Structure 1
């Protein structure tokens, strides 16, 4: 939700306490192989696709991009490890200088050598205001980046940004190709070349992306030679095509994944995530902009019932962007479902029930639309449950389905069933979600949330290198969201995948909201091996 590549859609300190918690549970079965049936080929069903394949425009910024590599990458436990860098960075005592020594002998898939100039080109291009990268503010800490010879890159920061190393999982683009064309519209945006384990062979937008193994990959040629990602927005259709054998794997909502529980030839993976579902409460709407309405909705929703009834237990209640089992979560900010409290808040604020039970105040009816994306059953179910809970408090929520092209122009005044979440560091998601300066900036701060105390805390959390100070800053953010919720957070969702059991090495990581190409059991497809 924080960038256009997320449509469909990682601290070196506290976040390292997170575990992958990738619960892989074998399902008993009837057999059945999917896709091509060949162990050296994998066909997976995903729910959305990116708008671009250029890292200069935001693609793959959180890693696992298949076509590209970053300086660093994550292992199964979300710990940083070297990729294009030969080692983790050397960090100066003041936290302002990061030096990366690069891996030698790496080539792009077109045979051109990779070097420091490509790293400098990538970061400088993203930071250029003329580049249409919606996530540019994520690199705000960078004051400069320079090459020292062919195999050393030095980043100089404007302030000691604690999770900076996490930002360097960002994919590196080749200067010799991307630097010779328009960064926003050139051919590189749809036909990229990288150093990664796979090479893009075709992209039929709205249908599929096809890849082949890169024989010159510095990590060794993958055993899965052909990899195809089929874009299927409708959950039911994705499940049907998996069952018919057209797919080797797919992401599915809990109720559909449960239908494969008797299949011995497939495994179900439950990936723990930071992925939340939330309702935006735009400040520019006369109802959702009212603080009392926001507070009432925040306690009127029955989050526990949503986890149990909508997710089949595959998730947890959400009270903000941080999951309750994260070390960043602020204890005491949980909100209990309390319909009586919700009604009292509205009564005290002058919102009086009408004959039909819907409240009014100063001639304004407590009614507003709530949009969700067509074909997304999880969002639809959350929207309907939210509307039902809101009505019990006297607020009318009219649910509407549409594509992002329909929804986006309405986001300033209309509520949206949105998603987000990043496990790497609280800055990664919260800054884009809540800072007032990004209100209305595409999918950033969709609610136009404006809270000076939150703005100050977000800056403190971003600019401090001290873990305790950062924890205090994000505690402030979470407490302020209780006082004035610009969003009603509903659930954190576990991602469920059903995968044909014909490879070794399949697993999951703790996942962000943006999943599909980069996340899922295929996050490490380049290391899979056919079962003997």
Structure 2
């Protein structure tokens, strides 16, 4: 078994097409484009790996909870999954996906409603200016959205998000950046974040993303530090409680509360996609995968199971 490191998405795809490698992790649409190539199969795996737009605290527009609610209503997540992820994913309203069973609250999902988003902004005093971008006093409904410059999937999600909120008078400027640059700008700019590093614990999936910031927390955990005492209380109770019906109800309440006062704009749960050459091997199907994936997951997660 030989592993090679090829950070560029298109370079990995070309190595699959040429037969130089037998498999690679690829963004969903790029993987789909190889599906008809001779001998190439696309395998996808469920994940709790989310993508979201964190919102900065030092921007007057994103600091307004009405603006955050309006943006959540302006995004058509199903269209985003279909267009950007090639159908290989699921809409996300919170960090909790349907894979968590009774912990998941279907009623907490956002349904796209552009008209209501506009009404919420109007009532909050954000009115369209001559350029079409909303203003309130001297503040404009605009911000920069950073994404890792070498991540084509996050780039495409950032562009799709910007197009969605433009319809309601919000100007978003997607910008590729290094992680060092991004960390220094968290208070002023939005970031296309990913999470779900430890999906087998629902507490790890939710607590750092939704709780107000705690000492020693990663700078990328709820960068805007938005939240509420009630949300913090529920998260702390859930963390201290054993699994079971009572805690499942508590996590459903967390999602309903978040829907009223969102801190970010969660976009999608990304299915991890792999282009694989059929070399005659049979192997165990993929399992639920964390945010970190690649060739240690997918078809390769359990090498001792491989048989010819």
Contact 1:301 1:337 in 2 (8 A): yes
Shift of 1:519: 2.4
Residue 200 of structure 2: aligned partner? 424
Match of 1:468 among 224, 230, 245: 245
**DSSP 3-state at the match of 1:397:** strand
Deviations along 1:336-355, one digit per CA (max 9) or x if unpaired, are: 11110000000000011100
- C-alpha distance 412-355 of structure 1, shift in aligned 2 (>3 A): same
* Root mean square deviation, CA, Å: 1.8
Deviations along 1:150-204, one digit per CA (max 9) or x if unpaired, are: xxxxxxxxxxxxxxxxxxxxxxxxxxxxxxxxxxxxxxxxxxxxxxxxxxxxxxx
Residue 265 of structure 1: aligned partner? 39
Distance between the aligned counterparts of 2:297 and 2:182, measured in 1? Answer: 26
Residue 179 of structure 2: aligned partner? 404
Shift of 1:277: 1.1
Residue 512 of structure 1: aligned partner? 290
* Superposition TM-score, scaled by structure 2 size: 0.93
Shift of 1:229: 4.1
Distance between the aligned counterparts of 1:275 and 1:466, measured in 2? Answer: 22
**DSSP 3-state at the match of 2:144:** strand
Contact 1:283 1:290 in 2 (8 A): no
Specify which structure has the bigger relative contact order, considering alpha-carbon pairs within 8 angstroms and separated by 6 or more residues.
2
Shift of 1:526: 4.0
1:299 aligns with 2:77: no
Residue 210 of structure 2: aligned partner? 434
Distance between the aligned counterparts of 2:21 and 2:177, measured in 1? Answer: 27
Distance between the aligned counterparts of 2:224 and 2:301, measured in 1? Answer: 32
**DSSP 3-state at the match of 1:270:** strand
Shift of 1:367: 0.6
* Superposition TM-score, scaled by structure 1 size: 0.55
Shift of 1:476: 2.1
Distance between the aligned counterparts of 2:48 and 2:6, measured in 1? Answer: 23
Contact 2:283 2:299 in 1 (8 A): no
Contact 1:454 1:476 in 2 (8 A): no
Deviations along 1:16-64, one digit per CA (max 9) or x if unpaired, are: xxxxxxxxxxxxxxxxxxxxxxxxx3xxxxxxxxxxxxxxxxxxxxxxx
1:453 aligns with 2:230: yes
Shift of 1:466: 4.7
**DSSP 3-state at the match of 1:418:** strand
Structure 1 spans left out of the alignment, 5+ residues = 1-40, 42-226
Contact 1:358 1:395 in 2 (8 A): yes
Contact 1:412 1:448 in 2 (8 A): no
**DSSP 3-state at the match of 2:12:** helix
Residue 168 of structure 2: aligned partner? 393
Residue 188 of structure 1: aligned partner? none
Contact 1:301 1:390 in 2 (8 A): yes
**DSSP 3-state at the match of 1:431:** helix
Shift of 1:430: 0.8
Contact 1:438 1:445 in 2 (8 A): no
1:495 aligns with 2:269: no
User: How do 1:139-178 and structure 2 match up within 5 A?
Assistant: none
Structure 2 spans left out of the alignment, 5+ residues = none
Distance between the aligned counterparts of 2:135 and 2:201, measured in 1? Answer: 41
- Please say which structure displays the higher CA radius of gyration: 1
1:285 aligns with 2:63: no
Shift of 1:446: 2.6
